[in-house]
Amino acid sequence: MKALCWEGVNRLSVERVPDPQILNDQDAIVKVTLTTTCGSDLHLINGYIPTMQAGDVIGHEFMGEIVDIGRGVRRRKVGERVVVCSFIGCGRCWYCTHDLWSLCDNTNPNWELAQDTLGFETGGVYGYSHAMGGFKGSHSEYIRVPFADFGTFPVPDGVSDLDALYASDAAPTGWMGAHMGGVKPGDVVAVWGAGGVGQMAARAAQLLGAERVIVIDRLPERLAMAERYMDVETIDFSQTDVRADLHERTGGRGPDVCIEAVGMEATGAPDGQYAYDRVKQQLHMQQDRPIAVREAIQVCAKGGSVFVLGVFGGMVDRFPLGILMNKGLVLAGAQQHGHRYIPMLLKRMASGELSASQLATHEMSLDDAPHGYDMFKHKKDGCVRVAFRPHD
Amino acid sequence: MQQQIRGWRFAAERIPRRRVMRDGPLAHSARTLVSACQELGDRARGMSAPTHGRMSAAQAMAARMPARVAEYMPGRTPTGMMGRMPARMAARMPGQMMGRRPTRMPARMARRMSGRMAGRMTGRMTMPTAMPTGMTSNMKRVAGGLGLLAAGMGVARWAINRPSARERELKNRWIMVTVNCSPQRLASRADLPEPITRLGDAVDIKIAPAPGDRGTELGARLRDLPRTKVAGMVTRHPEEDPRRMVEQALRDAKAIIETGEVLRGEWPAAAQAAQAGKLLEFAGRRGGRQ
């Protein structure tokens, strides 16, 4: 089958790879009908995530049709249209049974590698380095799905493929940021990053009752999309002082909940932070550029909360711990516990309450995936997300 | 004597140091040491001059310090502890803490300036006439040397006595996992799944309820640690580390109890088989079944 392979830093190519096989009784094989780019893939492509090997198939956000199941699969059957959570959960360890699915104890076969790189092991995830399980990614025609009873979710008839596609990762990740960030009715919520996850977090905050939602980015087309589809306020951080602007809009208090949906490759900062972080990152003295996290902590209302949705890999410098402590903030973060939210999100999509298909600004065949990632990475032509159709 | 030493100190800060005359009665360093010892002896006998006046002088000087810094360095923001400290707070601090900076800081600042400005600044300096410190600088040198010596001895003692990295690494700890099941499910050794039983008598097993609703803590520990030769091999080949094999067995057992199977990775099957083979080999040897 054909698949999009990581061949080195900033090198992607479509290659022929072996077809997936059922290796465990609880596996299923899914024919991928739609798979999409994600901002966290850029960290792999740009070489910031360790333990990648040439030939690794990338991609983790997808939907498709079950074409084969192992003899231990009980709740799914061949032919079902399903969306698959990007993280793999066994469904029976303590973390899975307590809705902390991305921390699953039993789905990372490369636990030693993960311990070497992170100090502990997360659950497995598709196409996201060997330290996170070494599973083949979804930018391929077929994919093996372990623990299919728990990781696949039938898509209701009223939900389009493009909406369901983003129920795999962007929508549950965004929802988790608003939910675990503690958004309550009447809150003012600020979201850093107007990509797919940021927009879904903003919509989730609205649905959880936030009085006002403010989205911060520098790309006018993304801010315009957020205004058009979610009717949120926006701030272009390249044109204004974000801290002063947020204080002005919130009566001097700052947002009650700050959601960071940017990650380790943040750009643009008013006081030279970007250059400082970039130099240290290039010299391998620091792994991440946490500009948005710093800003969120600095501007958050006293006693508020900051939730980190963006992907980070290691140590950071110039972290405002004194502000965090003295302001009485709650700081939390997580990889997505998608299994917890996907059924609810699919229901909301079916009822029309939540729409995500607008995120797919471009659709193309898997053969054009390297070009698609180039557009996505450099934000060409107003690209927010590219959806690939492997069988076209 | 003290006045002479003070005079020498400030002169030394302004002019380059020269070689001491050999035919003098005592070298500078010897005079310094003698005077320091004399002062220490005087203090030990309770003969030192009262320090109260010196402390008061130091506190007063500290209170004026921010203003003095501003005067000497116009246009620069005072930095550091002294620069940021309000005058009232500085005045409250003990003379021994504050005495050093007021007497030496202006001279240091002046020395750091270069060119014409240096001369101008030095010319404007007014040195304090009294040395507002609890100890003379020579006494500080002696005390500092003794402190360094003591610290060095302490570090050496710690380095000699602490366990080596290898000793710490190879300490025979329990390797633990927490299984999401009730303790009754693992009531006896016979209830344990095959990855553990395969280890035979090579390991001790520990089972205990976990706090709260967290299930059961399952642990294993090697009965015999590998000897030195094996330890060397372990360092070179982690996949042959018996402790790692025990940990893998525990993880596999946990996965089987919780999910019914061990998830297989998508790495080459040959690598997995080699790893499993090592585990079996070790387990059989230790279990006496080979």
* φ, ψ dihedrals at B218, nearest 5°: -120, 125
Q: How is residue A12 written in tokens?
A: 């992607």
**Sequence-ordered alpha helix ranges (H) in chain B:** 2-14, 28-44, 52-72, 80-84, 87-92, 95-98, 100-112, 115-124, 137-161, 165-169, 194-197, 228-236, 242-259, 269-287
pLDDT of residue A28: 98
Question: What is A358-371 written as a DSSP string?
Answer: GGEEEEEEGGGHHH
pLDDT grade for A50, boundaries at 50, 70 and 90: confident
pLDDT of residue A148: 98
The 3-state DSSP class for residue B153 equals helix
- Count how many domains chain A has: 2
Closest chain A residue to B267, measured at CA: A134
Nearest CA-CA partner of B261 in A126, A106, A97: A106
Q: In B, which residues are within 8 Å of A90 by CB distance?
A: 255, 258-259, 263
| Domain shared by A99 and A219, yes or no | no
pLDDT of residue B149: 92
Domain that residue B48 falls in = 2-156
**Sequence-ordered alpha helix ranges (H) in chain A:** 39-45, 94-97, 111-118, 148-151, 161-165, 170-180, 196-207, 220-230, 242-249, 273-282, 291-299, 321-327, 338-350, 369-377
| Domain shared by B147 and B12, yes or no | yes
- Taking 80 as the threshold, does the pLDDT of residue B225 lie above it? no
Domain that residue A263 falls in = 172-333
Cα dist from B40 to A179, B9, B54, B138, B143, whole Å: 68, 19, 17, 10, 11
pLDDT grade for A61, boundaries at 50, 70 and 90: very high
State the CB neighbour count (10 A cutoff) for residue B10. Answer: 16
Distance from CA of A96 to the nearest CA of B (A): 10
Q: In A, which residues are within 8 Å of B180 by CB distance?
A: 92-94, 97
Distance from CA of B285 to the nearest CA of A (A): 24
Q: How is residue A370 written in tokens?
A: 């390297």
pLDDT of residue A307: 98
Q: In terms of pLDDT, which residue wins out, B187 or A262?
A: A262
| Domain shared by B44 and B105, yes or no | yes
The 3-state DSSP class for residue B275 equals helix
| Residues 6 or more apart whose Cβ sits within 8 Å of residue A166 | A36, A61, A196, A200, A356, A357, A359, A360, A385
- The most confident of the ranges B108-112, B221-225, B247-251, B268-272 is B247-251
How many helices (H) does chain A have, and how many strands (E)?
14, 18
- Taking 60 as the threshold, does the pLDDT of residue B278 lie above it? no
pLDDT tens for A263-291 read 888 887 767 888 888 888 888 787 788 99
Dist. CA B57–CA B52, nearest whole Å: 9
Q: What is the CATH number of the domain that holds A16?
A: 3.90.180.10
Average pLDDT over residues A37-60: 93
Distance from CA of B233 to the nearest CA of A (A): 18
Cβ <8 Å between B265 and A110 = yes
- Count how many domains chain B has: 2
Average pLDDT over residues B235-257: 84
pLDDT grade for B33, boundaries at 50, 70 and 90: low
| Domain shared by A83 and A6, yes or no | yes
* Terminal-to-terminal C-alpha distance of chain B: 87
pLDDT tens for A211-234 read 999 999 999 999 999 999 999 999
- Choosing from B132, B156, B180, the residue where a domain stops is B156
Between A291-299 and A273-282, two packed helices, what is the crossing angle to 10 degrees? 140
On whether residue B162 sits in a domain, the answer given is no
Dist. CA B178–CA B193, nearest whole Å: 15
Residue from the list A93, A112, A144 with its beta carbon closest to the beta carbon of B180: A93
pLDDT of residue B288: 30
| Domain shared by B67 and B10, yes or no | yes
| Domain shared by B26 and B149, yes or no | yes
| Domain shared by A230 and A302, yes or no | yes
pLDDT of residue B48: 42
Q: In terms of pLDDT, which residue wins out, A8 or B59?
A: A8
B 65-124: CB under 8 A from A: none
pLDDT grade for B65, boundaries at 50, 70 and 90: low
| Domain shared by A154 and A82, yes or no | yes
pLDDT grade for B40, boundaries at 50, 70 and 90: low
Nearest CA-CA partner of A334 in A101, A86, A107: A101
Test mutation, B251, B263, B264, chain A, max A CBs within 10 A: B263
| Domain shared by A275 and A375, yes or no | no
- Taking 80 as the threshold, does the pLDDT of residue A314 lie above it? yes
- Taking 60 as the threshold, does the pLDDT of residue A121 lie above it? yes
Q: Are strands A2-8 and A56-57 parallel, antiparallel or unpaired?
A: antiparallel
The 3-state DSSP class for residue A126 equals strand
Average pLDDT over residues A234-246: 94
ipTM score of complex = 0.92
| Domain shared by A132 and A164, yes or no | yes
pLDDT of residue B74: 57
Buried b vs exposed e over A19-44: b needs ≥16 C-beta within 10 Å? Answer: ebebebebbbbbebbbbbbbbbbbbb
Asked if B255 reaches chain A (Cβ–Cβ under 8 Å), the answer is: yes
Cβ <8 Å between B263 and A111 = no
Q: In terms of pLDDT, which residue wins out, B25 or A304?
A: A304
Q: How is residue B234 written in tokens?
A: 């372990």
pLDDT of residue B137: 80
| Domain shared by A74 and A29, yes or no | yes
Dist. CA A372–CA B142, nearest whole Å: 71
Q: In terms of pLDDT, which residue wins out, B5 or A324?
A: A324
Average pLDDT, chain A: 95
Asked if B259 reaches chain A (Cβ–Cβ under 8 Å), the answer is: yes
Q: In terms of pLDDT, which residue wins out, A50 or A123?
A: A123
In this structure, chain B runs to a length of 290
Asked if B215 reaches chain A (Cβ–Cβ under 8 Å), the answer is: yes
pLDDT tens for B125-183 read 444 444 455 667 888 889 999 999 999 998 888 887 777 666 665 678 899 999 999 99
Q: In terms of pLDDT, which residue wins out, B44 or A88?
A: A88
Dist. CA A18–CA A275, nearest whole Å: 43
Q: In A, which residues are within 8 Å of B258 by CB distance?
A: 90, 92-93, 105-106
pLDDT of residue B95: 42
pLDDT of residue A317: 86
pLDDT grade for A364, boundaries at 50, 70 and 90: very high
| Domain shared by A69 and A43, yes or no | yes
| Domain shared by B106 and B177, yes or no | no
pLDDT tens for A123-168 read 999 999 999 999 999 999 999 999 999 999 999 999 999 999 999 9
Average pLDDT over residues B95-117: 44
Instruction: Name the burial class of residue B23, with classes exposed (0-12), middle (13-18) and buried (19+) by CB atoms within 10 angstroms of its CB.
Output: exposed
pLDDT of residue B167: 63
- Choosing from A287, A314, A333, the residue where a domain stops is A333
Cβ <8 Å between A94 and B178 = yes
On whether residue B161 sits in a domain, the answer given is no
Between A338-350 and A170-180, two packed helices, what is the crossing angle to 10 degrees? 110
| Domain shared by A180 and A133, yes or no | no
* Terminal-to-terminal C-alpha distance of chain A: 13
Q: Are strands A212-217 and A233-236 parallel, antiparallel or unpaired?
A: parallel
Cβ <8 Å between B267 and A109 = yes
Q: How is residue B246 written in tokens?
A: 């025990």
